[in-house]
């Protein structure tokens, strides 16, 4: 099982080339490039680091790949040889499939085509989009390729322009609302990133949100804002393009902070110059990604 990440552009997998790979067979499916009759080693290496400090690196092979029933021929597979401890102790995935724009691919000396690039070039998906619905709690999530599931929500999918100059799914996000009061920042943008768990926004927004929750405070030990369990939460909306979208209250409750407090799902973006709309917010939305036409479709979900 691979993690799908709209914030990066590398397809990499656990492999038999990892030192001591045999120890991980029980927890992971390992790719054995030397045993694949269709795999061919190519020149190149890769190394990627993520925002949480985890990293992976290795060599590159070409092989045939199937993603959600879509067969991609001649896909570069980045074969892991070294993994940081965060990955070695995580039994939840066998690699990562990056769904951001090609610019972010880390293969050197020349980048390789991403799975979405190949799907588009080989005309494997029609319409030429992929979509994402992230589930609440134990609810099942899904991605679809070449199919828009109209049954997910009764709300209209509204399309917005994407700025891909940094390689991200980056959109204008020039307003937000707390309990119906709208605040504007005409230059603000956000990236749509399924590889980030929290919703990370600028400090003014964070403070206005938590000041509406009785007893909320910043916790140095937790590195973020916490609030008393069972306190009333404000209604929170963020703009994507010119449309406001509501964050589901259920997903604002991120984790138990102890002593009767909850760690909030919205936190500061720090020194970043853009917001990151991660899973906490995306669980409230159905998102259609259109790489060929540089646009993203978003619909509110009521579930």
Active site residue 303: no
Q: 4, 194 in Cβ contact below 8 A?
A: yes
What is the distance between the alpha carbons of residues 13 and 2, in angstroms, rounded to a whole number?
8
Our answer to whether residue 185 is catalytic in this structure is: no
- CA–CA dist 4, 131 (Å, integer): 11
Name the active-site residue from 5, 172, 251, 279.
5
**Nearest of 170, 194, 173 to residue 184 by alpha carbon:** 173
Distances (CA, A) of 261 to 136, 201, 212, 214, 237: 21, 21, 16, 12, 23
Instruction: Specify whether the CB–CB gap between 249 and 255 falls below 8 A.
Output: no
The β-bridge relationship of strands 130-133 and 142-145 is antiparallel
What is the distance between the alpha carbons of residues 52 and 198, in angstroms, rounded to a whole number? Answer: 12
3 state DSSP class of 208? helix
* The one catalytic residue among 59, 193, 275, 279: 193
Q: So which residues are the catalytic ones?
A: 5, 193
């Amino acid at each position: 099982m691979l993690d799908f990440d709209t914030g990066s552009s590398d397809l990499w997998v656990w492999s038999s080339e990892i030192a001591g790979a045999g120890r991980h067979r029980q927890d992971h499916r390992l790719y054995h490039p030397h045993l694949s009759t269709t795999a061919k080693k190519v020149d190149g290496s890769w190394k990627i680091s993520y925002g949480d400090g985890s990293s992976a690196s290795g060599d590159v092979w070409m092989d045939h790949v199937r993603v959600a029933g879509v067969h991609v021929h001649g896909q570069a597979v980045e074969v892991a040889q070294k993994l940081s401890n965060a990955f070695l102790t995580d039994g939840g995935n066998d690699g990562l499939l990056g769904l951001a724009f090609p610019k972010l691919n880390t293969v050197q000396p020349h980048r390789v085509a991403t799975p979405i690039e190949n799907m588009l070039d080989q005309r494997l998906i029609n319409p030429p989009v992929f979509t994402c619905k992230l589930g609440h709690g134990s609810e099942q999530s899904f991605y679809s390729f070449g199919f828009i599931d109209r049954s997910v929500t009764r709300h209209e999918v509204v399309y917005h322009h994407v700025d891909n100059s940094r390689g991200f799914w980056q959109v204008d996000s020039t307003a937000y609302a707390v309990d119906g009061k709208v605040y504007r920042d005409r230059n603000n943008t956000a990236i749509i990133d399924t590889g980030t768990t929290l919703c990370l926004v600028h400090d003014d927004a964070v403070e206005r949100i938590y000041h509406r929750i009785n007893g909320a405070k910043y916790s140095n030990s937790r590195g973020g804002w916490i609030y008393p369990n069972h306190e009333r939460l404000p209604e929170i909306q963020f703009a994507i393009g010119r449309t406001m979208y509501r964050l589901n209250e259920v997903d604002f409750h991120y984790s138990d902070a102890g002593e009767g407090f909850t760690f909030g799902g919205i936190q500061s973006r720090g020194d970043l110059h853009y917001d990151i709309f991660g899973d906490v917010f995306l669980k409230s939305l159905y998102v259609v990604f259109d790489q060929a036409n540089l646009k993203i479709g978003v619909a509110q979900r009521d579930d």
